[in-house]
Structure 1
């Protein structure tokens, strides 16, 4: 499941239950005159991303010798610190390398605690220059305030339709608001990977209003890919004490492929029951929330008994970091600046957004304005975050995802599935599917009585 939607599902279910040279390296002198190696400002294939300079004019709100940036999160509710960790690690590294033309990055954590999005957005509107590298499950609640105060954002993810593809926002996750981000994944599943499962697809969702849009879009996409939903069920958002009735229904219906729109803790329990009643499906879409060691530990022996898959949406897999310099750099930076924190898919997504901000802001020099940064980012037609993901054209905000990559859960950890990648770690022949159903629309500047002429 694409990150921009999956955290909203998880939260809803849980709720209702120093300087550097031009080449990016160099030396500096300490106060006693001895030379030490400066921190490189290169990230992946992005040269001199962070560097020293003398930019210091008060060119915009939140800009002086520092740059204040809002980082949205639901950490007070979910207890997941990935976006805060990523902001801390990136800013520490970038500042040590000189910052953005000498200005230091100051990330301000905006903890929405799931339900306090508007309160945190009002605070961000008051203090921050930009919103970068975060996300909140109910982010739709803050769009009107963000647009009203003309606050731009480069989020790590967007969740609700009001926010996904909204104005003054550039998303670094593949797939526009009106296109299915899973067209490549589901088409592969039903036509190549497991064609025998096409007529027997099951769909289980947590019973919450937040999941309604995602559930409808999933049904439409499965049908468009040639599949049939033969079993569709909701489970109480507060949780299920016994998954046996669900497992038995899945078996009796002959479900061969299962899509689970919910939290991986619940999925692990369901799979344990499915395995105990000897029903192995051809595949289970465990969604990218499950991507990590926690799900494998929770599911236990069921990992060997079921075929769990997840679409990473064109993000290079963490297990293969040694073969991808940018991914390995994230791992190394965490070892240096946050050794007790895990590197997750959400962390990588956040770094893709942070690198976009850093490059765009650096191009503006001393005259650092919101408009300059935003327009610079829009010129990126093959953005990879330094090599963290497949190329993405940021000049086209509503465009179908072209690349995808699938991983499989095994007792030995996650590994790439046999999905026949054609461009490095990715497969970039995903069909474009534009939704026909009405699932709402992203909010615009016009909705709040503003226009781009107001944006400075």
Structure 2
């Protein structure tokens, strides 16, 4: 299975393709970030009192007490990280660790959380070492914050067993996505799905219901995503045309026969759950040469400079991408996006959508931790997180419901023309289209997890996990 496809699914079907600054040498799989005024490599405290529309949760205070693992009078130690050391895909999801590193520095420059400095253990799970990383985190961290490990399913039993809560940057495995003591700023649960792209396309194109088909793949991961989309489309009244285009995940000797099949079938709109790679580019170029002119409805993995730089010949001019994040082109209208870019670039990090996702996760955690004051315990933070039912990361993305593990009921559409992405729906830049129809229930056959009445995975669940207390 291609790792970029795993990384795409890891972001929950609406994420982007897959060097945090540290003050010490690498130690095992963790790097220790001091996080003081110089801990972020000279990070400037941009808009210290706010992050976008969000009042900063960071600042001075007099919090005291060794209230839980990783908490002292003076510091809070959290874990975070990515898979950047994976040999087959160097730098995998490094934008996530880069973002949290920058946010720790930003927060500490304001005084930390209620006066406690944030210290970060930055982990490199390198794709295959997530279980090892989790066992390290279990011994030393207060919580995990903003991390993205593609093989988190392998680590989930260790996380649950040691009762380590997480505000994840993303989750991949179904049991991790629905696990206990797990919150996400941008949830992608297995039982609910944001279908903003198809909903917006249906409003924009009058023949969308009759002229849409799905590009299929031999990849099991892509097939799982496609099956969910197919089920959602049928629920919306869209019956795929079934042109029969199934691409070999390992590549094809020629893509022209597939392009000709698309042209003969007469598909006007093509949906793909696949990621941008040379094979996908070859298909679109072949479709162009064959004289077909469909519009493409692709997932947010396609919103990238990799795609816009490839599109010199215009074969990608029909690419439309549904998103719940504000595109970078809207930075002049959305202060949170501009602030994220500035903070990460000043920290010499990588800027990408997954980085914004990790940033939002950090802010969600910090906001909950700040509410706990001196009584900073895992139980208190979970209580606060469970009460958070509208979250935008200061304007980075559409409103989500982290407390109930529910996705956004909104979306926007961007279109590629030449090497430029531009928001085309809604027309008001910086705004989202919203409605109950943007979220649908998925077929339980696609879940990959057995859930209890609280929508929590039963697989690793124990009686002593930390549960939200309502009183």
Q: Is the 8 A contact 2:180 2:461 kept in 1?
A: no
SS of equivalent residue, structure 1 residue 384:
coil
- Counterpart in the other structure of 1:407: 414
Question: How far, CA to CA, are the matches of 1:285 and 1:122 in structure 2?
Answer: 40
SS in 2 for 1:162: helix
Q: Secondary structure at the match of 2:364?
A: helix
Which of residues 263, 272, 275 is equivalent to 1:260? 272
Query: Which residue of the other structure, out of 400, 403, 426, is the alignment partner of 2:432?
Result: 426
* CA shift for structure 1 position 241: 4.7
Query: Which region of structure 1 is more displaced relative to structure 2, 142-151 or 247-256?
Result: 247-256
Mapping of residues 287-302 of structure 1, within 5 Å: 287-302=299-314
| Deviation digits for residues 204-251 of structure 1 (CA, Å, limit 9, x no counterpart) | 344333334312211101211222222344433334453223222222
In structure 2, the residue corresponding to 1:405 is in which secondary structure?
strand
Runs of 4+ aligned structure 1 residues displaced above 6 Å come to 1-4, 8-11
Please point out which of 114, 124, 127 is paired with 1:111: 124
- Greater displacement, 140-149 / 232-241: 232-241
Q: Distance in 2 between matches of 1:231 and 1:112?
A: 40
Secondary structure of 2:170's counterpart equals: coil
Q: Residue 196 and residue 74 in structure 1: after superposition, are their counterparts in 2 closer, same or farther (change >3 A)? A: same
C-alpha spacing 1:240/1:367, structure 2 compared with 1 (3 Å): farther
Match of 2:342 among 332, 338, 343: 332
The 1:246/1:126 distance shift into structure 2, 3 A limit, reads: farther
Q: Structure 2 residue aligned with 1:385, among 381, 390, 393?
A: 393
For residues 243-287 of structure 1, the C-alpha deviation after alignment (integer angstroms, 9 at most, x for no partner) is: 223222222322221122222123222212211222110x21221
The corresponding residue for 1:213 is 224
Q: 1:5 aligns with which of 6, 9, 27?
A: 9
Quote the Cα distance in structure 2 between the aligned partners of 1:454 and 1:92: 29
Aligned to 1:321: 331
Tell me which residue corresponds to 1:25: none
Question: CA 1:454 to 1:152, structure 2 compared with 1: closer, same or farther past 3 Å?
Answer: closer
1:74 aligns with 2:83: yes
Give the 5 Å matches for 1:54-93. 54-64=62-72, 65-77=74-86, 78=89, 79-80=91-92, 81-93=94-106
8 Å Cα contact 1:9-1:211 kept in structure 2: no
Q: What is the root-mean-square deviation in Å for CA atoms of aligned residues? A: 3.1
- What is the CA distance between 1:101 and its match in structure 2? 1.8
1:278-289 equivalences in 2 (<5 Å): 278-281=291-294, 283-289=295-301
The corresponding residue for 1:17 is none
Q: Which runs of 5+ in 2 are unaligned?
A: 19-44
Residue 6 (structure 1) shift:
5.7
Cα distance change on mapping 1:2 and 1:353 into 2, 3 Å: farther
Q: Deviations over 1:60-116 (max 9, x none)?
A: 222223322222422223323211110111111111111112222223233222232
Instruction: Return the alpha-carbon distance in structure 1 between the equivalents of residues 131 and 244 of structure 2.
Output: 34
Partner Cα distance (1:221, 1:228) in 2: 10
Superposed counterparts of 1:133-282, under 5 Å: 133-174=146-187, 176-182=189-195, 184-189=196-201, 191-229=202-240, 230-265=242-277, 266-281=279-294
Deviation (angstroms), 1:404: 0.9
Distance 1:38 1:185, change over 3 A: closer
Of 446-455 and 43-52, deviating more is: 446-455
Separation in 2 of the partners of 1:8 and 1:373? 24
Q: State the 1:138 CA deviation.
A: 2.8
Q: List aligned pairs for 1:22-33, cutoff 5 A.
A: none
| Deviation per residue, 1:378-406 (Å, 9 max, x gap) | 22222111222222233322x45311111
- CA-CA distance at 1:436 after TM superposition: 3.2
Output the TM-score relative to the length of structure 1: 0.84
Shift of 1:56: 4.5
- Count of matched residue pairs: 425
Counterpart residue number, 2:361:
353
Q: Taking structure 1 as reference, are residues 225 and 3 closer, same or farther at Cα in structure 2, changes over 3 Å only?
A: farther
Task: Indicate the residue corresponding to 1:22 in structure 2.
Answer: none
Change (3 A) 1:88 1:186: same
